[in-house]
Structure formats: C-alpha cells, structure tokens
C-alpha cells in the first residue's frame, strides 16, 4: 500500500503529464505540491526504487505503468467521493474538493467498488471530469476549451479546468451549469472577451480567462 504522500505525488505527476506531455520536471512538481525541490528529489528517488516512476537524473521523470495505474486509481476514488458528496450528501460543487482529497486515501478496494455501484457507476464527477472505471479506462469524451471556438459555433458545457471555489461560484452566479448548451456569439478582438448565448437566450460576457477554463463537447 502507498502512503498518502506517495499518492499525492502520483496524482500530481499524472496531471502534469496529462497537461504537458511526457517528462515532468522536479521544479514543476515542487510547485504544484507546494513543497521544496529538494524534498521532491528525495521522494522521487524512493518512488523510483519502488518502480512507480522512471527517473532520469536531471532529465525529469514519468510514471511507470505501475505508477500510472496507481494514479488513476486515486483519481477514480477522488471523483467518486466527489459524486457522493454532491449527489448524496448535498454539498455544492465548490465545497467538495478538500474533503475528497482526504477520502481518496482510504484504502479498500471493496469500499470503492461498492461506492461506485451505490452511485450507479457515474461517468463524470460534479465538475465534469471523467471517472475511470474499475479497470482504469476513461470513457473518452473529447472536449475542447471554449476559448478555442470561433463565433457562431456552439456546444455543450461539460467540464471545467479550474476547480477553485472562486471560479465555480462565479459560474453559479452567472447561471452557467454543467450540461448547458453555449453558443459563442462574439469574440472581442480588443480584450478577448467572449459574448455567450445561453440556453434561455440569456447573453453573458466573460473574460478570456473564463473562456479558457470551460470545456465544451459535441
């Protein structure tokens, strides 16, 4: 069994690899984990010995297949717990991250299998992130950033890349929810503001920063 610290490293490395390609740098990991580089070097040597990461001195590192499966397992647990917290316990989508960060480290395969069944095998978490199945397979749903769409095109809002409470609350405030259909009405060249048309014909103007944090499918 892996320690919570190791699991946090695995998850962070997995996400960095997803975002930035193959090799991950010591500094990048130190930054996202909020710890010092020397600590990362320390830990990676240990995780390398355990064959969780392939580590090349001064060249960065990447997950081994063993490490990748472990990372996906943790992500699966995190997202399933988030679904539980929102769907069953009535938390808001901006409240669940921290609690799920703790729950994801509970060790019991049986527990997670039963939780999955209890939640009726959800495919995405409350933020639209895909939940891998028990075999570690993600139901593929190719989505693009709203910021990559051109005026006139539309799609369904299916996820966010910013999970901060501040951002999620902002979405609630402007009345944007997962599953809504969004049409890009206009992109202002000058300041890159996006004018969007929501389902109820409602029109909202959002910044590039926001448009770049919304995932659109279909």
Which residues would be at the binding site for a second copy (CB under 8 A)? Answer: 85, 88-91, 95, 98-99, 102-103, 106-108, 110-111, 114-115, 118
- Contact between 178 and 155 under an 8 Å Cβ cutoff? The reply is no
Instruction: Enumerate residues 6+ apart whose C-beta is below 8 A from 115.
Output: 80, 81, 84
Which of residues 10 and 184 has its CB atom nearest to DNA in the complex? 10
Nearer to DNA, 8 or 158 (CB): 8
Q: Which of 27, 108, 153, 177 binds DNA (CB under 7 A)?
A: 27
**Residue 91 binding partner per list DNA, a second copy, none, with a CB distance cut-off of 5 to 8 Å that depends on partner kind:** a second copy
57 part of the interface to DNA, by CB under 7 A: yes
Query: Binding partner of residue 28 among a second copy, DNA, none, CB under 5 to 8 Å per kind?
Result: DNA
Binding segment (CB under 7 A) for DNA, from list 37-45, 69-77, 156-164, 181-189: 37-45
Q: How far apart are CA 60 and CA 209, in angstroms?
A: 29
**C-alpha distances out from residue 55 to 25, 60, 71, 127, 214, Å:** 10, 6, 16, 32, 34
| Contact partner, 6, from a second copy, DNA, none, Cβ < 5-8 Å per class | DNA
Residues 6+ apart with CB under 8 A from 126: 82, 83, 85, 86, 87, 93, 96, 178
Binding window for DNA (CB under 7 A); candidates: 36-44, 103-111, 153-161, 192-200: 36-44
Residue with tokens 């729950």: 103
Q: How far is the CB of 195 from DNA (least distance, A)?
A: 37
Cα 83-162-24 angle, rounded to 5 deg: 100
Report the residue from 10, 13, 16, 44 that binds DNA according to the rule CB under 7 A. 44
- The smaller minimum CB distance to a second copy, of residues 115 and 210, is found at 115
Could you give the 3-state DSSP secondary structure of residue 133? coil
Per rule CB under 7 A, is residue 67 in the interface with DNA?
no
CB 124 within 8 A of CB 179: no
Please give the residue ranges that form the binding site for DNA (CB under 7 A): 3-6, 8, 25-28, 33-46, 57-58, 60
């Amino acid at each position: 069994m892996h320690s919570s610290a190791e699991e946090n490293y695995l998850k962070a490395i997995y996400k960095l690899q997803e975002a930035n390609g193959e090799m991950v740098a010591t500094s990048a990991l130190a930054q996202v984990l909020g710890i010092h580089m020397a600590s990362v070097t320390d830990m990676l040597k240990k995780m390398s010995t355990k064959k969780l990461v392939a580590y090349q001195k001064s060249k960065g590192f990447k997950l081994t297949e063993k490490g990748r499966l472990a990372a996906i397992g943790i992500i699966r647990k995190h997202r399933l717990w988030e679904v539980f917290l929102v769907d069953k316990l009535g938390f808001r989508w901006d409240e669940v991250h921290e609690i799920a960060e703790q729950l994801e480290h509970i060790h019991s395969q049986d527990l997670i299998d039963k939780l999955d069944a209890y939640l009726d095998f959800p495919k995405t978490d409350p933020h639209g992130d895909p939940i891998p199945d028990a075999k570690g397979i993600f139901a593929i749903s190719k989505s693009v950033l709203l910021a990559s769409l051109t005026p006139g095109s539309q799609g369904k809002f299916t996820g966010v890349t910013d999970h901060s409470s501040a951002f999620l609350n902002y979405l609630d405030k402007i009345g944007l929810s997962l599953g809504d259909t969004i049409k890009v009405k206009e992109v202002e060249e000058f300041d890159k503001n996006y004018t969007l048309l929501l389902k109820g014909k409602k029109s909202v103007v959002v910044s590039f920063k926001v448009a770049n944090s919304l995932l659109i499918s279909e």
